[in-house]
Amino acid sequence: MATKIDRRSFLKVLGLGGAGAALAGCDMPSYATMEEGEEQVFSYLAPEEYVVPGIGVWYASTCLQCSAGCGVHGRVREGRALKLEGNPDTAVNKGKLCQMGQAALQTHYNPDRITSPRIGGKNVTWPEALAFIKEKVTGAPVWMTGSISGHQAVLLDAHLNASGGGAHYAVETINAQAWQAACADTLGDAQPNLHIDKALCVLSFGADVLGTWVSPVKFMADYGKFRAAPRGVLTVVEPAMTLSGANADHWVAARPGSEAAVALGVAQVLASEYSVSTSALPSGAADAIVAMTPERVNALSGVDAKTLSKIAETLMSNSPSLVIGDGSYETAAAAMILNLMLGNVGATITPSAELVPADLGVRSGSTKALADFAADAQAGRIGTAFITGTNPAFTAPGGLKIEDALSKIGLKVAVAMFEDETTQLCDVVLPLASSLEDWGSHVPATGAGRGEIHVQQPLMEKLHPEVLGLGDILLGLTQDAGADGLEDFEDYYGYLRTAISAMIGADFEPEWQAVLQAGKVQAPTADRSFTANGALNFNVPETKAPPAGRLSLITTARQGLFDGRHANLPWLQEAPDQISKAVWDSWAEIHPTTAAGLGLKDGDYVTITSDSGAITTRVFLYKGVHPDAIAVPMGRGHTHYGRYATGIGVNPLNLLDGTADGRTGEFLNTTSVRVQATGDNRHLVRLMDVDQQYGRKLAATISADQLRRNQGGA
Amino acid sequence: MPSLLGNIFKGWADYSKGNEEGGHHDYEHMYALAIDLDLCTGCNACSTACYAENNLATVGEDKFGARQAMHWLRVERYFDEPDMDKIEETNDTDTQSRGASFLPMMCQHCNAAPCEPVCPVGATYHTVDGLNAQVYNRCIGSRYCANNCPFRVRYFNFYDNADSWPAPMDQQLNPDLSVRSKGVMEKCSMCLQRTRAARDTAKREGRELQDGDIQTACQQTCPTSAIMFGDLLDETSAISKIWKRHQVKLGVYKQDKENPELRGYRIFEELNVDTKVLYLERVREV
Amino acid sequence: MTAQQNPAQKHLTQEQTKDIDENIEWAKINADVLRSMENPRRGYWVAMFISVALFSVMIYAEVHQYMFGMGDAALNTSHMWDLYISTFVFWIGMSHSGTLLSAILHLVHADWRKPIYRFAEAMTTFSLLTAGIFPVIHLGRVWNFYWVMPYMSDRGLWPNFRSPLIWDAFAITAYLTSSVLFLYIGMIPDLAICRDNAKGWRKKLYTWLSLGWRGDDAQWRNFRFTYLMIACLLIPLAVSVHSIVSMDFSMSIMPGWHVTTFPPYFVAGALYSGCAAIITLFILLRYFFKFEHFMTMPILDKVCKLTFVIAMVWTYLNLVEFASVWYGHDIPSKEVLLAKASGPYSPFFWGMMFFGSVLPFALLSQWIRRNMYVLFFVSVFLNVGMWLERWMIVTPTLSLGYHPQAFNTMWPGWVEWAMVGGSFGWFGMLFLVFVKVFPSVSMYEVKEMVYHRKRTVYEDVDEMMNLHSGVPGPEPDLGSAPAPQSTGGA
Amino acid sequence: MSPDRPKRRPFPWIRSIMAAGVVGALIVLGGQLLEQERVGGESPVTEAGPRVPGAVFPTDTFVGKDVPQPINYSHKLHAGDLGINCLYCHTYARRSKVAGIPPTSKCMGCHTIVATADEKPEIEKLTLMWESGQSPAWNKVNDMPDFVHFSHERHLQKFLFDNPDMNIEDSREVCAMCHGDMVEVGVAKKMRPLTMGFCNTCHENNDGPADCTRCHK
């Protein structure tokens, strides 16, 4: 042997001699996997006291995956955010998170993040971008954002006032505007506190309380208490099954848009059979109830008299109850009428606390704002538009023709984390920091914490050095526009810290650290009381059975991809849909009898055409949808949104013709469509191909009477 | 010589004792779950939290369709209610009037696990904490364990799923457990890394592990608190109370409850695999 | 001396009435067998090319699987095993008849096995070598396959002795070594003959391999004793190997697998598919090497009858399994049985039932047993039936099972088909090399057979003519038999 | 058998097989004895009593490679001659899985006063790094594979803090169990194989946990 055999290689030869090395790259005995000097370790320079390598530290922050604004604890180790959990101290979610919250990590670490400012698709530096904007600004700039609150909202208003008083359009596709309008009209308080946990019966008309409505994690926690002994009864009336419908004791399929008729029908049954007085109702309500006879309800919604009386009987035998309605103003108003008739106001509906620093309040987004923006743009009243936190080009109904509305705007600036359909149409794109690397303060959607404002702090260093937080961008723009009083803040952190210290009345480090540890700060609130007021104008839509070959399309929302903003997160694309269990693609839910009528079987492709667009997707047959409806969940069908979303699924929002609700101006999420089979079929990829248990005791069910008999056994 | 041969003789003692008393070990803990199906809304937060905590790979539509996905905890959804106690209105009405029933299904950590005796290299075994552990370095991928699992909750790395974490998404990987390479079987470990961290903390503070020290990722994020984790050997723990209240005992293949109408049950109990996840029956108004 | 032809046997030539023509000269035996080992002709190279082509496809598939993982074999969460394991059981099954012929029939002195036991034993060894590939390539991390062996590792780890896969590893390695030993020791006298007639590299090889065999009395006595001892040891080993292979399934709790009659059922299935393979190879060798004198029709008759009997035993055990499920209370097992018969795999299930249980009745007709072409295809389809049987044991159970979420119909991916096809190529390659390097018919055993047959035939003639018997003196001059030249061999 | 074959003694098959068997046995047993001696059994009790009271001290003859480091720091000087306690620099060993390389601030704590940059070229390199705010890239020597969960804290707790006859000044002895006597070494040299066999043997001798999931992540 030329080389000296040292002891180690002798043992290695000995070990290998017997067995003989198998294929290349085989796993040598544990000797060989030991490396010396291959990997490097960088020691700290001057570490913080509490930072110990190998031990995770939990920082409190806020989840911005939807407008509910739950409190979050993020686990950080060696400077990397690894896991998000709920913040136990924030009253909204009390330590819990939904799957969108868990996936916020992937929004932060997404490989398709925008990492530097761009003009016309070419990377530029921040000074160049700001100079370009300053040079190209024409007229008073306007802001289009999602729901926004806290100190960013204050800065946004400051920028708008300082630069010519442009308008602020808060746009949210999934919102509760109808319910807020109905509450404002009947109670004088747009966002009353709803106590599901105190109710013994909850009746929901089209409001997916457990899924996407206002603050799902809070309502799910209340649902947990609602189901504990004494067990509450959940009834849901909606055209297509949502997560709330799936958990209902009694799920009722109503023709799309006819929920108001059903609600008034129930009120009519209450008045006639249970002689519940309708005298104390706002004017216009009593005669609307009388007009809604069971036969008319059946004609409008397909819900028969027996179901109406069963709902009424449940309401009467389980009080206090709580009735929620959303989707159209009539539905919400009818639900509020039922609440007034049943005396729920004060029991399960209580006044919300009014935030004293009102300017921090939530500017809750609506689709009416999108309609106004489009109208103003078409009319040329918008010279410069800043767009952030929303994707109008994707979520706008086809009928709105948002593309050419945007083309009429001189300068369009997108402040975004990802390239999406809207940034394609914008001239300047500014890279936005993710929720895990930015400062901020947010007011949660429900007033559960009575004035609790959630603080957002960065969990780790910025992944990409060029990105800036929304607060910093607003502060920069406002200082450029020459607003007074903001000159001495060199970044948003300084502004936020001074503002919050002013709020808690102490400007010292320990108090500030206490706020950051709690992840929230208590803002002063004033109590509010309900004021009964005037008239309710009702025009219940005549929802008839659609003509042959036509169905009414519903764009359902799901807690996951939500309105499409989370389509670029692989965890949520691969998370099976709660109802159909489908992954990585869109589908159209249709009732088996309707499908039989159209000659469709599971997995057939159908083309759904409305007068403002057409989509082709596969059919999913199940009995959780009204026979006259075809439900396509929104969220997929992006044409430009990163590797995980582009070209996956179809976008039903483009099919909506944009008809607006009378009172609130919100787009209705139903439109009449033609459905034709395309003839080809491919198996819809789902978590499980079977919906039955084949007689095995897997998810067993018992009746509520059996539970009550064994109340001790719970 | 004594260290190696000794190992087999000493091992033989444990091994034979294991057989004599029907798989009995002297357990330090007996970790188990209890899931209330009436509280479970099927929102899938637990499954996504499991993806985040345990470095699960996302495999895309084709491999998901070929059933090669890695969802350690899957939330199943059924539309039928096989034994809803004999109500006259059966399920073939034309509307899904009683909603759907959801079932979070993960490894049941059976005490008489059918996957443990069949693994040729002993990569899966029953720990002294009563968990069915899967040692990723020892697994050679014979896959007999997955065939023998009646719940089909063992997932195999058919591919090297390294492309599930393109930079910078690989920074999200949890360093407390390994990222599995191709050819290795993996399954729900009941957040073994959290149990280990809690045990280290308890030892550092010089105290025994108490109930509530360990929260699995699914338990912590479940919005309705339907999932509960705990140590059955600790009489005072919440999980022991739930198992006792529903009169469900370990080690039997048929429960003899005084009140048979109690909601607690175990899945595939008749197979005598002695699962450790107690499900509480879903409740619906008739 | 043509026997009086009775009408029933009018088409039978003289040789087809007796197991072997006892007047055949020993030199002709040597000459015929040695001629079979001469340089191959074109047909041989065509067969070798096909085998090597199939095997290279297998190599490509294995490298692909090694690089990218098991996914392209279309395995999934429900079907973790498929063709790899069923083809492994098929090849293990093929190996058992070689042992049956060479060991069991040796003990019962059925000397009609002597001309054909050599290639049957070779088939055993090569199908074992083929079967041995599958437990290795079906592993997810194939480079750690040696962890299955109980070596003293510095990590202080042992394999899990309770796992049927470990028993498999021990059983197959034991069976492989013993069948190779049995084949080689049984061949030593023949190798001596080859040594004396070979030149060049063959001479060096045979000299080494024949271990200095001179054929003297002491060596024959030792040889006879050794051969008998190994035969006795091999029989229980053969039965236990396939019982252990069946325990891969019967030790599990899956419906359709944990059936208590699996060990005998698998052993019967093994003997059955092995005998079918013997018929196939019998016909091929007889046709290509013109061994009509040794592989005679009566011997083929006996093998066919033996195959039929074992087929019936297998059919009985198969129906017993179905009946025990049908009358049992295990609902999932009943579902699997019904799904086999009516589900997506039903064509293969009925194919198995036809080829496995109905087709053997064809072996009862003498016409078929005489007609080489028909019998060849019958034997091939018997084995197709047995391959389907293994597949129908593995896959339908995995496609159903207990949890409805696992219900899934799976069709093998291209990697699996490549491996299965490649395994036939590998077996073919081994067998083709064997027939050209080693004598595929045992010369000294055939001589033994001829010698004993001659003494029994002529003994009664001697008594009739009260000639001095018992001493193998010069043959009585009975007509045209030419005098044997004395050759180097014994 | 042709008579004219030359008389040649037949190849002694039986004896050669027997001999091969014996040689094979010797190799295997020898390998085991080497293994035994390498992994260490009862610790050779020196007259000054066991190095770590109440522990079976693993001995090993494994000698690792010399790994080049950005700054050739000397344990021999600091830990040996100056007698600085290991835990002074490797503070995280007491509280976390990893012992941690001391932050540059700790080095500069002394080296801005004692043996400053102008006296020692190595310190000059260190100070340059300190001023540029860039910490040195050390090459790992005692590197565990990524799938191993090894906690310094638990081992120090058992052998040092919970060990009544062990006082903190001799923490060097506990570290020597796995890292060898660092006092004779420059930056670092691997003195123990730190393989699974090594850890297993020590766990068996000192009744450490034998459960796979304690160390396998």
The letter for the amino acid at A697 is K
Distance CA A671, CA A655 (A): 8
Is there a single domain that holds both residue A139 and residue A250?
no
Q: A238-270, pLDDT tens digit by residue?
A: 999 999 999 999 999 999 999 999 999 999 999
**Using an 8 Å Cβ cutoff, are A65 and A103 in contact?**
yes
CATH of the domain at C228: 1.20.1630.10
Q: Is C150 on the interface with D (CB under 8 A)?
A: no
Place of tokens 């849901």: A236
What pLDDT score was predicted for residue B260? Answer: 87
Q: Is D13 on the interface with C (CB under 8 A)?
A: yes
Is there a single domain that holds both residue A275 and residue A423?
no
CATH of the domain at A393: 3.40.50.740
For the segment C272-292, the average pLDDT, to the nearest whole number, is: 92
Q: Is A25 on the interface with C (CB under 8 A)?
A: yes
Distance CA C240, CA C234 (A): 10
The DSSP output letter for A388 is E
For the segment C403-423, the average pLDDT, to the nearest whole number, is: 93
Question: Which of C144, C405, C410, C411 is the best residue to mutate to test the A interface, defined by the most A CB atoms within 10 Å of its own CB?
Answer: C405
The DSSP output letter for C16 is G
Q: Tell whether A40 is covered by a domain.
A: no
**DSSP string across A439-472:** -EEE--SSGGGSSEEEEE--SS--SSTT-B-HHH
Q: C310-362, pLDDT tens digit by residue?
A: 999 999 999 999 999 999 888 999 999 999 999 999 999 999 999 999 999 99
Whether the per-residue pLDDT at D32 is higher than 70: the answer is no
Band of pLDDT at residue D35, cut at 50, 70 and 90: low
Q: Range of A279's domain?
A: 177-355
> What domain count does chain C have?
1
What pLDDT score was predicted for residue C462? Answer: 61
Contact C408 A689 (CB under 8 A): yes
Taking CA atoms, what residue in C is nearest to B63?
C71
Distance CA C287, CA C279 (A): 12
What pLDDT score was predicted for residue A357? Answer: 87
What pLDDT score was predicted for residue D54? Answer: 83
CA A687 to chain centre: 23
Q: What are the chain C neighbours of A16 within 8 Å (beta carbons)?
A: none
> How many other CB atoms are there within 10 angstroms of residue A48's CB atom?
8
A416 vs A44, higher pLDDT: A416
What pLDDT score was predicted for residue A592? Answer: 94
Both tokens assigned to C404: 């409805």
Is there a single domain that holds both residue A246 and residue A186?
yes
> How many other CB atoms are there within 10 angstroms of residue A491's CB atom?
15
Is there a single domain that holds both residue A184 and residue A327?
yes
Contact D153 B125 (CB under 8 A): no
E strand or H helix that includes residue C237: helix C217-250
* Side-chain-facing half-sphere of A168: CA atoms under 13 Å: 23
ipTM of the complex: 0.89
Q: How confident is the prediction for chain C on average, in pLDDT?
A: 88
**Using an 8 Å Cβ cutoff, are B282 and A713 in contact?**
no
Q: What are the chain C neighbours of B15 within 8 Å (beta carbons)?
A: 161
**Using an 8 Å Cβ cutoff, are A155 and A475 in contact?**
yes
Q: What are the chain A neighbours of C408 within 8 Å (beta carbons)?
A: 689
Closest CA to B227 of B74, B45, B40: B40
Q: Is A174 helix (H, G, I), strand (E, B) or coil?
A: coil
Measure CA of the first residue to CA of the last residue in chain C; give whole Å: 29
Q: Tell whether C162 is covered by a domain.
A: yes
What pLDDT score was predicted for residue C320? Answer: 94
Q: Which of A22, A30, A31 sits opposite C143 (nearest CB)?
A: A22
**Using an 8 Å Cβ cutoff, are A146 and A67 in contact?**
yes
Q: C232-257, pLDDT tens digit by residue?
A: 989 899 999 999 999 999 999 999 99
CATH of the domain at A581: 2.40.40.20
What pLDDT score was predicted for residue B131? Answer: 94
Q: What are the chain A neighbours of D143 within 8 Å (beta carbons)?
A: 34-36, 38-39
> What domain count does chain A have?
4
Both tokens assigned to B205: 């503070």
Q: Range of C402's domain?
A: 40-149+158-440
Alpha-carbon distances, residue D187 vs D62, D85, D192 (angstroms)? 17, 16, 16
Closest CA to B107 of B273, B281, B222: B273
What pLDDT score was predicted for residue A26? Answer: 36
Q: What are the chain A neighbours of C335 within 8 Å (beta carbons)?
A: 694
What pLDDT score was predicted for residue A23? Answer: 32
Q: What is the least distance, in Å, from the CA of C178 to any CA of chain A?
A: 20
Q: Tell whether C454 is covered by a domain.
A: no
| B vs D: CB pairs below 8 A | 55
Is there a single domain that holds both residue A477 and residue A461?
no
Distance CA A273, CA A275 (A): 6
Q: Tell whether A266 is covered by a domain.
A: yes
What pLDDT score was predicted for residue A676? Answer: 93
Whether the per-residue pLDDT at C471 is higher than 60: the answer is no
CATH of the domain at A512: 3.30.200.210
Q: Tell whether A217 is covered by a domain.
A: yes
What pLDDT score was predicted for residue B6? Answer: 58
Closest CA to A565 of A389, A398, A425: A389
Whether the per-residue pLDDT at A142 is higher than 90: the answer is yes
Whether the per-residue pLDDT at A639 is higher than 60: the answer is yes
Q: Is B225 on the interface with D (CB under 8 A)?
A: no
Q: Which of D39, D146, D211 sits opposite B127 (nearest CB)?
A: D211
For the segment C85-98, the average pLDDT, to the nearest whole number, is: 93
Neighbours of chain D (3+ CB pairs under 8 A): A, B, C
The DSSP output letter for A695 is T
E strand or H helix that includes residue C383: helix C372-399
Contact B78 A692 (CB under 8 A): yes
Q: Strand A349-350 vs strand B185-186: parallel, antiparallel, or unpaired?
A: unpaired
Closest CA to A214 of A365, A355, A367, A62: A365
What pLDDT score was predicted for residue C461? Answer: 62
Taking CA atoms, what residue in D is nearest to A30?
D195
Contact B157 C158 (CB under 8 A): no
For the segment A414-438, the average pLDDT, to the nearest whole number, is: 95
Is there a single domain that holds both residue A268 and residue A378?
no
Q: Is C222 on the interface with D (CB under 8 A)?
A: no
**Using an 8 Å Cβ cutoff, are B81 and B89 in contact?**
no
Distance CA D105, CA C11 (A): 106
Is there a single domain that holds both residue A72 and residue A221?
no
Closest CA to C195 of A142, A591, A574, D5: D5
Domains in chain B (CATH in brackets) are 25-82+96-280 (3.30.70.20)
- Helix runs in C290-360, H state only: 297-326, 331-342, 346-353
Q: A559-582, pLDDT tens digit by residue?
A: 999 999 999 999 999 999 999 999
Band of pLDDT at residue D49, cut at 50, 70 and 90: low
Is there a single domain that holds both residue A440 and residue A576?
no
The letter for the amino acid at A453 is I
What pLDDT score was predicted for residue A25? Answer: 32
For the segment C184-195, the average pLDDT, to the nearest whole number, is: 93
The DSSP output letter for C22 is T
Angle between helix axes C164-197 and C217-250 (nearest 10 degrees) is 150
Q: A329-363, pLDDT tens digit by residue?
A: 999 999 999 999 999 998 999 999 988 888 999 99
Q: Is B139 helix (H, G, I), strand (E, B) or coil?
A: coil
Whether the per-residue pLDDT at A13 is higher than 50: the answer is no
Is there a single domain that holds both residue A195 and residue A306?
yes
CA A43 to chain centre: 42
Q: Which of A14, A39, A46 sits opposite D143 (nearest CB)?
A: A39
Place of tokens 């290695």: A12
Q: A160-178, pLDDT tens digit by residue?
A: 999 988 999 999 999 999 9
Contacts of residue C102, Cβ cutoff 8 Å, sequence gap at least 6: C113, C117, C118, C120, C121, C124, C182, C186, C231, C234
Q: Tell whether C329 is covered by a domain.
A: yes
Is there a single domain that holds both residue A240 and residue A186?
yes
Q: What are the chain B neighbours of D35 within 8 Å (beta carbons)?
A: 4
Q: Is A696 on the interface with C (CB under 8 A)?
A: yes
Q: C166-175, pLDDT tens digit by residue?
A: 999 999 999 9
Low-confidence ranges of chain B (pLDDT < 50): 1-2, 19-23, 87-88, 90
Q: What is the least distance, in Å, from the CA of C408 to any CA of chain D?
A: 33
Both tokens assigned to A616: 């082709």
Is there a single domain that holds both residue A375 and residue A423?
yes
Q: Which of D2, D10, D32 sits opposite C212 (nearest CB)?
A: D10
> How many other CB atoms are there within 10 angstroms of residue A679's CB atom?
8
Question: Which of C142, C162, C170, C250 is the best residue to mutate to test the B interface, defined by the most B CB atoms within 10 Å of its own CB?
Answer: C162
Is there a single domain that holds both residue A660 and residue A519?
no
Helices (H) and strands (E) in chain A, counts: 23, 29
